[in-house]
Structure 1
Amino acid sequence: MTVQDRPSTRERVVDRTRQLGEQTAFYGHALASTADAIRRYPGEVLRLIAVMGMGTGALAVIGGTVVIIGFLTLSTGALIAVQGYNTLSNVGIEALTGFLGAFLNVRFIAPATAGVALAATIGAGATAQLGSMRINEEIDALEVMGIRAVTYLASTRIVAGVIVVIPLYTVAVLMSFLATRFGTTVIYGQSRGVYDHYFSTFLHPSDLLWSFIAALSMAAAVMVVHTYYGFTATGGPAGVGEAVGRAVRTSITATVFVLLSITLSVYGQSGNFHLSG
């Protein structure tokens, strides 16, 4: 490509703006068609829920996405026990480790970890599946047969991703709670009564509710981003790989933005936090 053939800055800006418009239109179409997807393709939604939750083939043996998210949050919960207990013990208030387990896990650690795990597991899988169908002209075949491709392929995956994240996130939060409690009471030897007292004192049901809302919002963002990149993949198998990489980068950014927005809107003023008990 010569210097004359290279696109100008204006052309690049116009092209980026056009791509953003197409991407936004796809998001709107896919989200608006979710109700239609549930009504027309309930069997496909149930199949996708089973695949996303437990995996297929070798992944089904070890639990698929359930085990991956559970292991990640188990690790982060254990880190809270290690760092929290050692840091607080330096100033003589290691009894407040239960407070850290209730406060950090629900508000920050579990949602952020689950968002990254969703992007790397069910999101990347959706992009690879749809990208493979695109380059093999299977999506074109569906459209020729009169099937609404966006509804059948994208909207069903969005619905399945949002539904499957409910038990997945429940496992994630429980694993983070158990890891922090095990590390504090068993490894470091803190009294279980002391830990449970501060844990139950600072664990607010409203925090759990907002944590689940954040997880559902992140799941919707992950699925809508990954279905778009898979649906529009080009360039053969190499293009599918590039689409997966771009989708993971975009979805992780989107999940962080969603978590930040919800955290600022809910806890930005008062923080819903009272140091007592």
Structure 2
Amino acid sequence: MSDGPLRKAVDATRALGEQTAFYGNALVSTADAVRRYPAEVLRLIAEMGLGTGALAVIGGTVVIIGFLTLSTGALIAVQGYNTLSNVGIEALTGFLGAFLNVRFIAPATAGVALAATIGAGATAQLGAMRINEEIDALEVMGIRAVTYLVATRIVAGVLVVIPLYTVAVLMSFLATRFGTTVIYGQSRGVYDHYFSTFLQPTDLVWSFVAALTMAAAVMVVHTYYGYNATGGPAGVGEAVGRAVRTSVTATVFVLLTITLSVYGQSGNFNLAG
């Protein structure tokens, strides 16, 4: 009776160790990937950012992340203005646009979008290569598959996040401003005053750090599940599902850790009249 739970615990520990070793090997190989396969890295950046084939028509990941952050930025305008107007301080909606978008809304939305787009795509690609024995063929030819397939995707995923997250933050800012000033009719000068007053450059820097860290976490998780996919096409689909579930959890944990580390309990914020 005790062998069953004990064996499961041992297997889970072994799987966790193998997964951690894969992450470390993939991250260490990123420098070698940039040096040996720069053309592959550039190809993956273009594929992840703009998509290929029919997906390129709508802009791929750029449009998806932009639309998601546009929606969340509009929600800040709706909820923020209505809530603040109940106590007569709707002028501070610009403060919410500068404070919430940068510190939480845009990073969290971008993390989920990355997991659902470039992360899931990487898992499906590597999983298809695994079940078709293409990865085994690369290893037979003497090509280090982790460096060529995994490390290049990690580098491309992190690099492509820089322009993608810039678009995400701008869309969230524009959506909040448009909703507050156009839909609700607040003065643009009032909104811009409070927005520029409370928008801290350091918050933007830490927001980009959080986005880049989440991108790295998403890529290592998704490449692991795709690289080790088994069970044919159905196994690839299962690997994508597990990877998305794990990476979304990882992005939330990364965002929570960075937020607590940078802002602590006080938030480094003081509101004075």
Class of the TM-score when normalised by the shorter of the 2 chains: over 0.9
Per-residue Cα deviation, 1:140-161 (whole angstroms, up to 9, x for no partner): 0000000000000000000000
Residue 271 of structure 1 deviates from its aligned partner by 1.3
Aligned-residue Cα RMSD (Å) equals 1.1
For the pair 1:77 / 2:67, whether they are aligned, the reply is no
Gaps spanning 5+ residues in structure 1: where? none
2:158 to 148, 158, 162: 162
Distance in 2 (alpha carbons) for counterparts of 1:163 and 1:76: 24
Distance 1:118 1:7, change over 3 A: farther
Q: Secondary structure of 1:274's partner?
A: coil
Distance in 2 (alpha carbons) for counterparts of 1:198 and 1:76: 20
2:247 to 245, 251, 260: 251
Amino acid at match of 1:13: A
Distance in 1 (alpha carbons) for counterparts of 2:272 and 2:186: 20
For the pair 1:61 / 2:40, whether they are aligned, the reply is no
Residue 188 of structure 1 deviates from its aligned partner by 0.3
Amino acid at match of 1:200: S
Q: Secondary structure of 1:8's partner?
A: helix
Q: Which residue of 1 aligns with 2:189?
A: 193
Q: Which segments of structure 1 move beyond 6 Å, counting only runs of 4 or more?
A: none
| Higher alpha-carbon deviation: 100-109 or 7-16 | 7-16
For the pair 1:44 / 2:37, whether they are aligned, the reply is no
Gaps spanning 5+ residues in structure 2: where? none
Q: Which residue of 1 aligns with 2:213?
A: 217
Residue 269 of structure 1 deviates from its aligned partner by 4.1
Distance in 2 (alpha carbons) for counterparts of 1:168 and 1:12: 41
Per-residue Cα deviation, 1:202-223 (whole angstroms, up to 9, x for no partner): 0000000000000000000000
Distance in 2 (alpha carbons) for counterparts of 1:94 and 1:32: 50
For the pair 1:184 / 2:173, whether they are aligned, the reply is no
Per-residue Cα deviation, 1:179-206 (whole angstroms, up to 9, x for no partner): 0000000000000000000000000000
Percentage identity across paired residues of the two chains? 88
Residue 276 of structure 1 deviates from its aligned partner by 3.4
Per-residue Cα deviation, 1:165-192 (whole angstroms, up to 9, x for no partner): 0000000000000000000000000000
Per-residue Cα deviation, 1:227-270 (whole angstroms, up to 9, x for no partner): 00000000000000000000000000000000000000001144
Matches within 5 A, 1:132-147: 132-147=128-143
Distance in 1 (alpha carbons) for counterparts of 2:124 and 2:242: 12
Q: Secondary structure of 2:216's partner?
A: helix
Q: Which residue of 2 aligns with 1:17?
A: 13
Distance in 2 (alpha carbons) for counterparts of 1:165 and 1:270: 29
Distance in 1 (alpha carbons) for counterparts of 2:212 and 2:163: 11
Residue 7 of structure 1 deviates from its aligned partner by 7.0
